[in-house]
Amino acid sequence: MKKFLSLLVTFIIACSTFLNSANTSFADNEELSIPAESGVLMDYETGRVLYSKNADNKIYPASTTKAWTAYLVLKYKPNLSEKVTIEKDPNVDGSSMYLKIGETFTVRELLEGLLIHSSNDVAVVLAEYVSGSIEEFAKLMNEEANSIGAKNTHFNNPHGLPDENHYTTAYDMALMAREAMSNSIFREIVKMKSVSFPATEAYPFERYFVNTNKFLTSDEKITYNGKEIPIKYDIVDGIKTGYTDDAGRCLLSSGVKNGMRLISAVFKSTGDDMYVASRTLLDYGFDNYTNKTIITKDKYTGSERILFSKQKELIYEPEYNYKVLLKKGTSTSSYTTKVKLNKISLPIKKGDKVGTLEVYNSKKLETTINLVATSNVNSVFGSLVENKVIFTSILVVISIIIIIFIGLIIKRKKRKKYYKKRIFKNRRR
């Protein structure tokens, strides 16, 4: 009995170990080790997670928070040339641009200071510029994070300085990094290697800052796959570093190779190991996966004949291209599509939804894409319908003509009947 129990315990432990390893690797159960407590690798196009390690564990984001701060500034205050005057001392610790009362910067300049130098005082100024206060901006940060699916995040400030109620997860931060990278201005700024600001009356020295992300600038080296190689990695085009004692070394990265973009999120690492961990994830993704466009909207057009239309037919196309992420060497032959058009009602404007395109993978519905009109389609009666007075007048005239016509027919029938009666009477005489 003891021997049986011992074997049972061993079996349970083995199963537990297997399940835990499966949760920290890709679906094909390939082992991948990174020197960080939490990590996620995500495909930018599809949002699919290729690798995760403790992805939903609570972590402190430190200055990676500023990526979300910058994205919300761009979303709610898109006028980059608008000027912001420093009216009070931001009074915040840590990395700083040393903003002085009376200085004026454009929104773009402040965003560059925030993302390149990781300036905490800039984070405070921008938060108050957008929402009026840190508290209101934190509410906005949480609402927007929740709206994209970051359900295990709670922000309490715009910079990421230590706060027990300022936390997130590696998965949530990967989601937010992906969303932020959808903004072209954000992408421009996070890949800048340095930034400088001329002297002002309040601060009579040039401010010159090198990007804190060593992937973009550093000549230092790391040990990677048993070799000493430069930290600088040409495929990386952003996005944000972070560090506090509680958070450890944190890094959100974006890499592009062969037309494919990947997002890595690494948290609670030490020293330059965050670059080793991030490169490990990015290389794993690019070495093993590829994305393929299976629906190209310009080539996937369709048409439908429309009666009583000036254009005679409706031409439609998918609203966007559709890419899928595949293991290298995998065929797309399992993908099929089905068009479902709505009941057509004229007029149709260019861009109007006119149906859906269902995309199936091995007969299982994978996604649905809106079909939209590529041009206007108007009724041959459109000009009359638009001018109600003319249209009503014509209806009245047509009605009168019909009434007169019916009256004439009735009158003619009565005359025929009258003459028939007279002929009949004459014959009887």
Average pLDDT over residues 23-50: 79
Domain shared by 271 and 303, yes or no: no
User: For 42-46, 190-194, 279-283, 390-394, which range has the lowest pLDDT when averaged over its residues?
Assistant: 390-394
Average pLDDT over residues 189-201: 97
Q: Which two tokens stand for residue 214?
A: 């060593």
At residue 276, what are phi and psi to the nearest 5 degrees?
Answer: -65, -45
State the Cα–Cα distance between residues 146 and 419, nearest whole angstrom.
89
Domain shared by 345 and 326, yes or no: yes
Domain shared by 184 and 276, yes or no: yes
In the predicted model, is pLDDT for residue 29 greater than 60? no
Q: What is the DSSP string of 235-261?
A: TEEEEEEEEETTTEEEEEEEEEETTEE
List active site positions.
63, 66, 118
Residue 20 lies in a domain: no
Sign of the alpha-carbon dihedral angle for 404, 406, 407, 411:
positive
State the Cα–Cα distance between residues 255 and 262, nearest whole angstrom.
5
State the Cα–Cα distance between residues 93 and 95, nearest whole angstrom.
7
State the Cα–Cα distance between residues 336 and 294, nearest whole angstrom.
9
More confident residue, 378 or 424: 378
Domain shared by 257 and 305, yes or no: no
The residue out of 241, 270, 289 marking a domain boundary is 289
Contact 326, 291 (CB under 8 A): yes
Spacing of C-alpha 127 from chain mean position:
22
Reduced to 3 states (helix: H, G, I; strand: E, B; else coil), residue 151 is: coil
Domain shared by 75 and 222, yes or no: yes
The residue out of 237, 260, 289 marking a domain boundary is 289
Domain shared by 192 and 340, yes or no: no
Whole-number average pLDDT of the chain: 89
The residue out of 326, 351, 373 marking a domain boundary is 373
Contact 361, 334 (CB under 8 A): yes
State the Cα–Cα distance between residues 320 and 372, nearest whole angstrom.
10
DSSP 8-state assignment for residue 217: H
Residue 220 lies in a domain: yes
In the predicted model, is pLDDT for residue 185 greater than 60? yes
Longest dimension (CA), the chain: 134
Q: Which two tokens stand for residue 321?
A: 């291209």
Nearest to residue 43, comparing CAs of 290, 378, 347, 277?
Answer: 290
**What is residue 159's predicted lDDT score, i.e. its pLDDT?**
98
Task: Indicate whether this model's pTM tops 0.95.
Answer: no
Domain shared by 201 and 338, yes or no: no
Reduced to 3 states (helix: H, G, I; strand: E, B; else coil), residue 337 is: strand
In the predicted model, is pLDDT for residue 27 greater than 60? no
State the Cα–Cα distance between residues 145 and 149, nearest whole angstrom.
7
In the predicted model, is pLDDT for residue 18 greater than 50? no
Query: What confidence tens digit (pLDDT) does each residue in 215-253 have?
Result: 999 999 999 999 999 999 999 999 999 999 999 999 999
Residue 393 lies in a domain: no
State the Cα–Cα distance between residues 352 and 267, nearest whole angstrom.
44
Q: Which amino acid is at 33?
A: S
Length of the chain, in residues: 429
Reduced to 3 states (helix: H, G, I; strand: E, B; else coil), residue 290 is: strand
What is the number of structural domains in the chain?
Answer: 2
Domain shared by 38 and 143, yes or no: yes
Domain span at 322:
296-373
At residue 62, what are phi and psi to the nearest 5 degrees?
Answer: 50, -140
Helices (H) and strands (E) in the chain, counts: 11, 18
Domain shared by 46 and 131, yes or no: yes
In the predicted model, is pLDDT for residue 425 greater than 90? no
Q: How much of the chain is helix, strand and coil, in % rounded to 5? A: 35, 30, 35
